[in-house]
A and B are shown apart, each in its own frame.
Chain A
Amino acid sequence: MKKKKVLLAPLDPVHDIGLKMIKRGLEQKGHDTLLMPPDYSQEEIIKSIIDNDADIVLVSRTLGYGVAEILGKFIDLAEAAEIRDRIKIGIGGMAIRPELAAELGFDAGFGPGTTVAEAVAFVEGRKYIPEETKGKKNKKDITEGYNYLFHNKKIEKLLDSIVDGILDYVNNKTTTAIQRAEIRRRILESDNESEIQRLRVDYSKLCDDVIKSFYVSGKYREKTRPLTSSEVSALKRYVDEVNSRMNPLRLQHNDKNPVVFIQYGTGCPFMDIAHIKSCEAWGSDGAVHFDPSWGARTEGFLEGYITHEEDGSVITYENLKSIKMSLAPNTLWQVRAHRGLNTPETVLLAGKIGADLTKVNIAYGSLGGGTDPERLTVDAVAAIKYAAEFNMPFDVVTNEELCGVPAYKAFAGMLIVSKLGLRLGAKPILQPLFCYSPEVMVSGQMEDNYVDFNAAKIYCLRNIVNAPIWCGAPIGFLTQTEDRVQSSLMTALHASLASSLGVDGISIASSDEAFSGGPITVPARIDTLRATQASFRFFGQSSIAPTENAQNWANEIEEGIEKVLESVVKNGNFIEALYQGILGSREDGAYPGRAGKNSVIKQFC
């Protein structure tokens, strides 16, 4: 490569930072550079080009009305000075795009996001090929490297005893949800149309009336309708078009920053996909599917591409498939199944379609999610078996904390379900809430700061077991206000605290989620993604230092967990413990759910 003489000229009163960076890059590559001081006249720059016999000129300039004329004139001056044919001239600046560079007569234009390598390639006359590995995002397995070894052997022993009891209890029991999942599997795996029709009839018999009427007479639930064929084909076109110009950002500044999930469930699969694609573009690593609350309390699923005018997106094979097909290859996709009357079939569909993760928590689903504890326990065992079969890690979220259940009780439930998952061959992910929970509002652990008690939770879990942790859901919940700047900052600070504590994943909300009063907006999603990215950049690998309260509270939580687990063992039955409030009482704000009560079917061999 022939050494080039490069003149760097800030055609600007002050701005030359970009040129300084490029100058360094060029010198490292062995080129001669001359950086002119700012505020030289165009004629002086032309004379410098002649005096220094420069091969390349790089001009930087911020743009405003009238500035484009100045830049065009600079090229005219070079041409009139009869040097244009022997030099290459590039322009860089925040408002520069290739079209504008072409219009102004430059050989290249460098806009926002230009790398030094790109400018060096221009100088050396090479086509710029971005480093693929640099921008490439890989799908991360957040369970990788965890062996689920229990450091607290006492807790492990208690959990094993409880899990034995659960497995013993569910033995020879089934539910219509489990039966529907089995039928659904046969429908999906059959290519015999008459058999499929027969199976659909069998399926419908196990559903509530509102679902049954769909299978019998094609009637949709109120506020629910199928997408038209033109909507479905428009969706495909939209996804293809968006994918063709996607160049996703990366949120993480280093490998220690956690993966970042967003949550969606607008009710419309098309809108969901638009939200997911926007978030992917702005750097999200994963997306969590939220189903409607009525769906969790209704026996059976509909079929087809379905949209509806309520929160949460209807789970059907087709809806989930269309969402899966739209995702970037690196996007982690989770379909929640942690509550409700369709837990086994949800996990089956997620597994069949290729979801990466699912979500199951008996304790939350039955204490805060409205499902009968016995029913959900029987369903959850079947669901976790599907999760294991399809190699889908599942998180165990402690959302009952939002009802007012203290962390130590919620964590006891989380650890029981996690241990159950391990016993069934699945990979659980601990998902403690990372927020301003009712417990701390009452007890005052966050009066001074939001750091210590959140850190205490992570310290505690790390002290008990070597398992992946994904903070949710979303982080910073109840610390956000209707002010989008404040909400974004709170999200970003919680994200950085989670990163500092070494967690593997976080779920974030949009900056308008808590106070949207309706559908959330894409710009508000971008707010928190950008804030999180900036925060990761700000802290890098430095740490946030909690006070000594964090360790003290961690110890208290761990002791509390032991006591709860001892009570469950002493009580002799996990399900009874749920009914009796050992894992979250009515006084705490947790109420055993009623959906599916007395629906467990005993099987006799």
Chain B
Amino acid sequence: MSLIIGIAGTAKNTGKTTTTSSILDELYNKKILIGLTSIGYDGEETDNITGLPKPRLFVKKNTLLATAEKCLKAGSADYDILETTDIMTPLGRICIVRVHKEGLAVVAGPNKGSQLKYVENKMINELNCKVVLVDGALNRIAPMIETDGVIIATGASRNVNIDILVKETKALHELLNLPEVSKEELQYFTDISKIALIPKKIHEKTSFLNYGSLIGNDIVKEIIDKIKCAETVFIPALISEFALKKLNDGLGTLWANKTLIIKDPIKLITGGNPETLINEIKKIKFNGGNVKTLKNLPLLAITVNPFYPKYRFDIDSYEPGYIDREELVDKMRASVDVPIIDIKHEGSLRLLKSILNLVQP
């Protein structure tokens, strides 16, 4: 069995690359063949925004990488190019390569979900990788839907207020764990690309809107106008926090006995603040409605990082800052029921064990 793991950061400097690097080390110890890619560019020596140094990924012999042409010359690792794909990026075409001399690598993989899927299939089905790691890019979570599960790196860099950070992470966990639809429903909805208002009797008088996304007042109004006959509202694409709020305001108790079905939690998470979105979902439920998803994105673990780049006005520059590590870990563990790990402090062994259980039960 193979596993595709996404590693996403909630902000810069939350320890995403440290998490990836640490998991890589543990996988190397277990002699598991790894495929490594990223959503876009990462592994740069200095943070593009703050100028603080960032770790780069150390890759060992035989590791498979998907990275842009220009990055092959950077770093100290050497590669055999297995395939130069047609996937274009600002740093050149994506190449699938095998490391023949270990060293530091600069990974800039495909940045669209569909392209990521291509690379993952190649690595697993043709190149026999047991684990594919997808290193996330800044605030990019959408392509992660093409993974089997994500590890989320969060911490002080996202918010120095621990309570706010924990609340947000809890909401994020809830959004990623919405109840899934039945197999029949999944089959029915999979190919629908527009917002659909489905009446009680399935297949009858389904009303389709011109949009797949819920992102404007006119779309909200159209749903409200047509909701009476519908039992299910299916939204296959983006749902913005603002529009969902408007829809709830407009529908209120009309949600009773109706179900909102979304394609996947990413469609919600990209559209707004997790806490606000969860509140809106709770409103639907409070009004007697229900919310389901065609597919979930399992949250495998959360890594926390007390570090943040502290801005100093007097020198117009950043310096390292830290919040209380123990308080952060304890409060996070009390609220979110997934492994919570401070990689820098604890290492990634526990994290890896929980992941390996999925690959080698």
- A residues lining the B interface (CB < 8 Å): 41, 43-44, 46-47, 50, 63, 65, 68-69, 72-73, 75-77, 79-82, 84-85, 97-109
Contact = CB atoms under 8 A, between A and B. Distances in A.
B271 A103 contact: no
Interface in B85-132: 88-91, 108, 111-114
A109 B141 CA distance: 20
B243 interface: yes
B41 A79 contact: no
A104 B89 CA distance: 11
Contacts of B270: 73, 76-77, 79-80
B137 A72 contact: yes
A374 B270 CA distance: 86
A107 B90 contact: yes
Dominant secondary structure of chain A at its interface with chain B: helix
Given A50-B211, A104-B138, A98 B90 contact: yes
Contacts of A84: 112-113, 142
A50 B213 contact: yes
Contacts, number: 123
Nearest to A42: B240
Contacts of B41: 99-100, 102-103
12 contacts: A43-B242, A46-B238, A65-B49, A79-B113, A80-B213, A80-B266, A81-B213, A99-B91, A102-B40, A102-B91, A103-B40, A103-B108
Contacts of A77: 142, 238, 270-271
B139 A82 contact: no
B44 A47 contact: no
B215 interface: yes
Given A76-B140, A80-B142, A102-B91, A63 B49 contact: yes
B112 A99 contact: no
The interface size bin for chain B is 35 or more
B321 interface: no
A366 to B, nearest CB: 55
A54 B236 CA distance: 20
Interface of B: 11-12, 39-42, 44, 48-50, 68, 70, 88-91, 108, 111-114, 137-143, 193, 211-213, 215-216, 236-238, 240, 242-243, 266-267, 270-271, 311
B137 A104 contact: yes
Nearest to B38: A103
Given A43-B216, A102-B89, 13 more contacts: A65-B311, A69-B139, A72-B139, A72-B140, A73-B139, A80-B267, A99-B108, A102-B40, A102-B90, A102-B91, A103-B108, A104-B137, A105-B39
B137 A105 contact: yes
B106 to A, nearest CB: 9
Given A76-B139, A81-B212, A101 B242 contact: no
A-B residue pairs, 8 tightest by C-beta:
A72-B139, A79-B142, A102-B41, A81-B238, A105-B111, A80-B238, A76-B142, A103-B41
Contacts of B68: 102
Contact of B40 (A63, A81, A104, A108): A104
B48 A109 contact: no
B12 A75 contact: no
Nearest to B242: A43
Instruction: Indicate the member of B139, B143, B236, B311 with the most A CB atoms within 10 Å.
Output: B139
A79 B112 contact: yes
A105 B140 contact: yes
A84 B12 CA distance: 23
Given A43-B215, A75-B140, A82 B237 contact: yes
Contacts of A104: 40, 137-138, 140
A575 to B, nearest CB: 64
A82 B145 CA distance: 12
B288 to A, nearest CB: 27
Nearest to B91: A102
Given A102-B108, A102-B111, A68 B88 contact: no
B137 A100 contact: no
A72 B238 contact: no
A47 B216 CA distance: 7
Contacts of A99: 41, 44, 48, 90-91, 108
Contacts of B90: 98-99, 101-102, 106-109
A79 B114 CA distance: 10
B48 A43 contact: no
